[in-house]
Structure 1
Amino acid sequence: MSRFWVDHPKGRFLFDTGLGRNIKQQYQADMPLWMRPTFKYDPVKPVRDQLEANHQTLPNQIILSHTHWDHASGVTDFPNAEVWALPEEHAYIAEGNVMQSQFANPDLRWHEYTLTDTPWRNYKKSLDLYGDGSVVLVDQGGHTPGSVGLYLRTRSGSEYLLCGDTLWRARALESAAPKSWVARWLVDDDTAATQERVNQLAEFSRRYPDVVIVPAHDTEVLDQLGYFPSWLE
C-alpha cells in the first residue's frame, strides 16, 4: 500500500497517502463485513509519522491516483494540504463509491483540476505540473473514473510511470493481462476501460522500455526501488 513523496525544485507533494492514522476507525465504519476477509491490512507507520520522524516539511499538496481506501486513508492527516482530484473522481466520491469517513471532514481543501488535450507520448491527455517535462500526470480512467498516472524523471535521468491500480503486477504488461475476473468484479469501476488502459500501458512499455512501470501494490518493483527515507535520485 504505497505512497510517493515527490520533491521538485518548484514544489513537494504526496502522490497518494496510503493508510493513515485513522485507518482503524475508517475501516470499522465503512468496510462492508463481506469484503473484510478479502481486503485486510497489516499495521503500518502512516506517512505523516514517517515524514515527521525524518524532519520533512509537511506537504501542502496531495495528488490522488484515485480515491479507494488504501490510497486515500491518510488525507485526513494533512488538514492544511490541497487535495487534487479530477472532477470525475470527485463525483465518484459524492456518489458513495468510497469510504466516506476518509473524506468526511468538511474543511478538506479540494482542488479540482483537469488534464489538457496535450498529447504526451501515447496518451491523449496530460498535465505537465512544472512545465519542464519531469512531472507529468496522465489519464488512467477505468479502475475509477478519475484515475491518473504520474510520470517522473529524476535528476539522474531515470524515468518512472506510477500507474496506480490499473495494474497490480508489472509482469502482466508482457501479455497485457487483466486482473483476475474476481478482482475485476470487486475493484474495477469499468472493466473494459481498465483493460484499454492496460493495453495502453503495455504499448507504452514497448515504446519506452527504459521507463520503469510502478503499480501501487507490486512489491517486486517497489522492493527494487527502495523505501523512504531513501530517495530515487
Structure 2
Amino acid sequence: METIFEQIEKNIDNLVTNNADWTASATREELDAARSGDLVLHFWEKEVPKEWLANIKGNNVLCLAGAGGLQAPLLACAGANVTVIDISDKMLDKDREIANAENLSIEIVKGNMCDLSCFSDDTFDLVINPPSLMYIPDLKVVFDEVRRVTKEGGEFIIMAPNPINYVCDWVDDENGGYYKAVHKMPWCSKDFDDSDWIEYGHTMEEYLGGLIKSGFIIDGYMECQREDITELMFMVKARRF
C-alpha cells in the first residue's frame, strides 16, 4: 500500500507532465533581472515584498518543497547560496535543467519536507516555502524541522491557502449558483473524495499558532484575494529566536 507521500509525489509529477500553470519555470527576463539586482518572487498576483528579500546575496537559502525551476534559480542569480528540496523528481528536473543551462550552483535534494535530517542544525539564513503545506497532515513536524535547520535570527517565509478555500462548496441553483460554508476545519480531501488526490485544509491556528509554538516570531503578513472569492491566499514571514 502506498504511503500518503508516495501518492502526493505521483500527483505532483503528473501536474508537471500535464504542464499545470504553477509548474512554469523562471523566464530569461526574470533571471537576467535577478542577476542585475532586481529579484522578483511572485506571491500569486502580488510579489514578495522587496524588504523581505533584502541583503540576500551570500546568504544560505533553502527552497522548501520549492522545486520547479522558479524560486531557486532566481535566488541563485541574485547571489544566494541556494539549496532546494522537493519530493518530486520531475519538479527537481526543472531546477537541474536551468542550473545547467545558466551555470548556477544550486544544491538539489530529493526529499520530504517533514524530514530535513540531511541538513545540519543552524544551516540556513532563510527558508522559503512556496504553496505546499496543504499536502502535509501535521504542520508541527515541518515547523520544528525548519526551526532546527534555521540559524538564530534567520527567517522563514511560507505561502499557503486560507481555510476559506476548504470551508465552502459550490451549490448550483437557478440563479447561477453560490458558495455555501459546509465544512469544518481541519479538512482532508480523502474524507470527501475517493480519487487519488490528497490535500489538507489547515486552520490559521495551525499555521500561525504552530509557528509560534515551534519557536518563531511572526513579523510579516500579507494576503492575496484571487478572482474566485474562496481563493484567499496568505504569506507569513517569521523569525527564529
TM value normalised by structure 2: 0.37
Query: Max radius of gyration: which structure?
Result: 2
